[in-house]
Chains A and B, each alone.
Chain A
Amino acid sequence: MDMADNDMAGIINEQAQRLFEGTVTRDQLTAADNGDFQATLWAQVGEAGLPLALLLEEAGGIALDPVQAFELIRSAAYYAVPLPLGETMLVAALLNEASEGPASLAHGQAGQASRVPYGQACSRVLVENNNGWRVFERDQITGEAGRNLAGEPRDALHLQGDGRSVERPQWLGDEGLAAVGALLRAVQMSGAMRRALDLGVAHATERKQFGRPIAAFQAVQHMLADAAVQVASASAIADNAAQAWGKEDFVVRAALAKVRTGEAASLVARVTHQVHAAMGITQEHSLHFYTRRLWSWRDEFGSDAYWAEWIGQAVCKRGGAALWPSLVAATS
């Protein structure tokens, strides 16, 4: 990646942040909560080229460095952008082909796929089953609406026909789309928890009790410091995995990221709610747009417990002496 690429990534990221900050309104988030797909916002995101960030240039993409592309996904989560931007970006990169509209990814069996992110709104779904990967297009998809705790669509889909068979990349190992989804949610969590922390810090400095801002109390300072540690750790481990996109050790890095960000999400959500007190659990306050996402995302595409067990099994199988060298390799 040379200087020009870096500048390019910086420009796209700045544009994306401006777009999210200027256009993602409370009303929009509330409407999305009620199940309305935000088509206008999707069009704007598409015009900015964001779903093409990770796609190769010869396939019509922008081909950002993976860490930069995932940074866009983190920014979107920081603003709780109610769209399958990450899903679409990753499916395009995996198929090396842009989709007409939003795309999603899921496990499926016997013509069914459950809890598909934004499934009904998608023009394309990449489905993994025991035999490999299949792509289903809009006219092959029907379904019923479902939601996660944050109100994001997690739909049950009926898939007609066999779909189009596509090759599953070697670097995803046996875990396949679960690992892709795990990193996607890990990166999103790192963005949403950063926003929750920012809201907590802002609230603590504004809210006064006993004649002074509650930020003046050491108990509050230390609680938020604990959250800051988790946010920093989550971003670092998510970047560590993003950097391995398309490489041999992607799966183990994605697993490490999902475990650590999932744990961090729990703590950050708890702390930021404690700091916001009763106001933070109202519909009126914005905190819940981020914390409900954290509580949903930590359990999607394998919870931290699931991936921790996966890592633990592998570590124990190889024994104590092998742990340090493999840890160095997975974090370099």
Chain B
Amino acid sequence: MGTFDFQNVVLPAAAEQARHDIRAFLQAELDAGRFKPHRCSWTSFDRDFSRRLGEAGFIGVTWPERYGGKDASTLTRLVITEELLAAGSPCGAHWIADRQSGPQILRHGSQRARDEILPRIARGECFFGIGMSEPNAGSDLAAVRTKASKVDGGWRIDGQKIWTTNAHQVTYMIVLARTGDAGPDRHGGLTQFIVALDSDGIDVRGISDMAGNHEFNEVFFDNCFVPDDMMVGNEGEGWTMVTGELAFERSGPDRFLSDYQLLATLVDEIGPEPDRGQAQAIGRMVAQLASLRRMSVSVAGLLDKGEQPTVQAALVKEMGTTFEQSLPEIARTIAPTEPTLLSDDRYVGALAETVLRAPSFSLRGGTREILKSMIARGLGLR
């Protein structure tokens, strides 16, 4: 049962100092009226917020100083991200770059990619999108068909990606493309490339979601040139890198704090004298959140030691997104209202935002069904 144990991790003093600092930063932002907590999530794209955050030294903190980082531990980064999320800050612009693209480039990128890109990410000037899913490769990621062909000095990319959040606003995306035969396990012949969105041969088309927001995009590649040194890792290593990235993507607090502001506003909506049912419901949610935080910190501790806790990460995401999705349902039961977008009432607005966002929680970053199958494999059932 080793993979189902979540050891206690004590946060180092540096991480607690970071908490103090990021809270002060966020309070100053709030005092200046620069964001509305109940209207934001970690996909809310605010370029200026990310730039100020980068200037203040809160992006890419785990990277070496020469790349704009602070050589901080994964645990320090965890503290910064959980505080950003709990405060309801608009951290969508830099989120993907800080969480997964930057770390990939640091580990597997060319020297030029590291030198040119990482410091700009850390300054909050350069943002990333994820180029994994395709129309016929969703949960079945090994089915990607976007093709990269070798040409003089680089690669030509042809194909299509979809569901790339904020592709119309980011600087780069990391594209998973087919460079060779899939092989018997279907995981071979895949390679990742850093593609600048302003390259020739790229067409980005927006997809509006049901809330009327434009976050998703389709991205078309037609004879798009990528230089050799923008390949990530070696040819054919794409699958290993993508799956290695998932523990980072899945265990973080973005899997249970997406709608935290709804819980905070719900508590205020109910007020200091809850009835029995309200108090019980709040208590149950707080207990779930407490165990999720504990588990997430524990996984961060394993990542910090260089381990790849894929099953633990799947457990955190599955429990976390189930919790996030239950929150609006419980809220509307114990504090009924008619959810209204852009309402001046914080609770009513947060409920509206969350109801419309909730279905995505158990889709992005690996569907619930894929995660449960990974957990089942961890149990030895498959």
Q: Which residues of A contact B (CB under 8 A)?
A: 67, 194, 197-198, 201, 204-205, 215-216, 218, 220-222, 224-226, 228-229, 231-237, 239-240, 243, 255-257, 259-260, 263, 304-305, 307-313, 315-317, 319-321, 323-324, 327-328, 330-332
Cβ contact within 8 Å between B260 and A235: no
Q: Which residues of B contact A256 (CB under 8 A)?
A: 286-287, 290-291
Contact with A along B267-284 (1 / 0, CB 8 A): 110111110101111111
Cβ contact within 8 Å between B4 and A228: yes
Indicate whether B113 reaches chain A with its CB closer than 8 angstroms.
no
Measured between alpha carbons, how far is A225 from B164 in the docked complex, in Å?
A: 29
Q: Which residues of B contact A205 (CB under 8 A)?
A: 380-381
Measured between alpha carbons, how far is A184 from B315 in the docked complex, in Å?
A: 25
Residue from B10, B272, B376 with most neighbouring chain A CB atoms (10 Å): B376
Residue from B270, B281, B290 with most neighbouring chain A CB atoms (10 Å): B290
Closest to A305 in B: B280
Contact with A along B286-319 (1 / 0, CB 8 A): 1111111111011000000000000010010011
* Distance to closest chain B CB from A99 (angstroms): 30
Q: Which residues of A contact B234 (CB under 8 A)?
A: none
* Complex partner residue of A304 from B284, B286, B290, B378, CB under 8 angstroms: B284
Cβ contact within 8 Å between B5 and A215: no
Given A204-B381, A228-B378: A218 and B294 interface contact (C-beta under 8 Å): no
Indicate whether B224 reaches chain A with its CB closer than 8 angstroms.
no
Indicate whether B331 reaches chain A with its CB closer than 8 angstroms.
no
> Chain A at the B interface: mostly helix, strand, loop or mixed?
helix
* Complex partner residue of A224 from B290, B315, B381, CB under 8 angstroms: B381
22 contacts between A and B (CB under 8 A): A221-B372, A225-B373, A225-B376, A229-B315, A229-B318, A233-B292, A235-B5, A236-B298, A239-B6, A239-B294, A256-B286, A256-B287, A263-B287, A308-B280, A309-B276, A309-B283, A310-B279, A310-B283, A312-B284, A317-B272, A321-B264, A323-B264
Cβ contact within 8 Å between A312 and B379: no
Given A221-B373, A313-B279: A67 and B294 interface contact (C-beta under 8 Å): no
Cβ contact within 8 Å between A259 and B372: no
Measured between alpha carbons, how far is A321 from B1 in the docked complex, in Å?
A: 38
Q: Which residues of A contact B318 (CB under 8 A)?
A: 225, 229
Given A224-B376, A225-B318, A316-B273: A215 and B382 interface contact (C-beta under 8 Å): yes
Cβ contact within 8 Å between A201 and B381: yes
* Complex partner residue of B283 from A201, A220, A315, CB under 8 angstroms: A315
Cβ contact within 8 Å between A327 and B286: yes
Contact with A along B114-131 (1 / 0, CB 8 A): 000000000000000000
Closest to A317 in B: B272
* Distance to closest chain B CB from A250 (angstroms): 14
Cβ contact within 8 Å between B274 and A233: no
Closest to B311 in A: A228
Tally B residues with Cβ within 8 Å of A.
57
Q: Which residues of B contact A218 (CB under 8 A)?
A: 373
* Complex partner residue of B267 from A232, A257, A316, CB under 8 angstroms: A316
Q: Which residues of A contact B199 (CB under 8 A)?
A: none
* Distance to closest chain B CB from A17 (angstroms): 13
> Chain B at the A interface: mostly helix, strand, loop or mixed?
helix
Closest to A240 in B: B294
Cβ contact within 8 Å between A259 and B1: no
Cβ contact within 8 Å between B382 and A323: no
Given A231-B4, A309-B283, A324-B86: A316 and B291 interface contact (C-beta under 8 Å): no
Closest to A217 in B: B381
Indicate whether B65 reaches chain A with its CB closer than 8 angstroms.
no
Closest to A222 in B: B372
* Complex partner residue of A316 from B4, B278, B298, CB under 8 angstroms: B278
Measured between alpha carbons, how far is A327 from B83 in the docked complex, in Å?
A: 12
Given A225-B376, A327-B286: A233 and B263 interface contact (C-beta under 8 Å): no
Measured between alpha carbons, how far is A194 from B375 in the docked complex, in Å?
A: 15
Measured between alpha carbons, how far is A2 from B290 in the docked complex, in Å?
A: 28
* Distance to closest chain B CB from A240 (angstroms): 5
Q: Which residues of B contact A231 (CB under 8 A)?
A: 4
Q: Which residues of A contact B19 (CB under 8 A)?
A: 328
Given A222-B369, A316-B273: A201 and B379 interface contact (C-beta under 8 Å): yes
Q: Which residues of A contact B81 (CB under 8 A)?
A: none
Q: Which residues of A contact B282 (CB under 8 A)?
A: 308, 311-312, 315-316
Q: Which residues of B contact A308 (CB under 8 A)?
A: 279-284, 287
Cβ contact within 8 Å between B293 and A328: yes
Cβ contact within 8 Å between A216 and B382: yes
Given A311-B282, A312-B282, A327-B290: A232 and B378 interface contact (C-beta under 8 Å): no
Closest to A233 in B: B291
Indicate whether B251 reaches chain A with its CB closer than 8 angstroms.
no
Cβ contact within 8 Å between B290 and A260: yes
Contact with A along B227-247 (1 / 0, CB 8 A): 000000000000000000000
Measured between alpha carbons, how far is A204 from B379 in the docked complex, in Å?
A: 11
Residue from B279, B286, B369 with most neighbouring chain A CB atoms (10 Å): B286
* Complex partner residue of B315 from A67, A232, A324, CB under 8 angstroms: A232
Cβ contact within 8 Å between B283 and A319: no
Indicate whether B343 reaches chain A with its CB closer than 8 angstroms.
no
Cβ contact within 8 Å between B293 and A331: yes
Extra A-B contacts (11), CB below 8 Å, given A220-B381, A308-B287: A216-B382, A222-B376, A225-B373, A232-B6, A234-B291, A236-B291, A237-B291, A256-B287, A305-B280, A313-B283, A316-B282
Q: Which residues of A contact B136 (CB under 8 A)?
A: none
Given A204-B381, A259-B283, A316-B273: A330 and B290 interface contact (C-beta under 8 Å): yes
Cβ contact within 8 Å between B315 and A323: no
Q: Which residues of B contact A328 (CB under 8 A)?
A: 19, 82, 293
Q: Which residues of B contact A216 (CB under 8 A)?
A: 382
Indicate whether B340 reaches chain A with its CB closer than 8 angstroms.
no
Q: Which residues of A contact B264 (CB under 8 A)?
A: 320-321, 323-324
* Distance to closest chain A CB from B9 (angstroms): 10
Cβ contact within 8 Å between A236 and B372: no
Cβ contact within 8 Å between A319 and B319: no
Measured between alpha carbons, how far is A321 from B27 in the docked complex, in Å?
A: 12
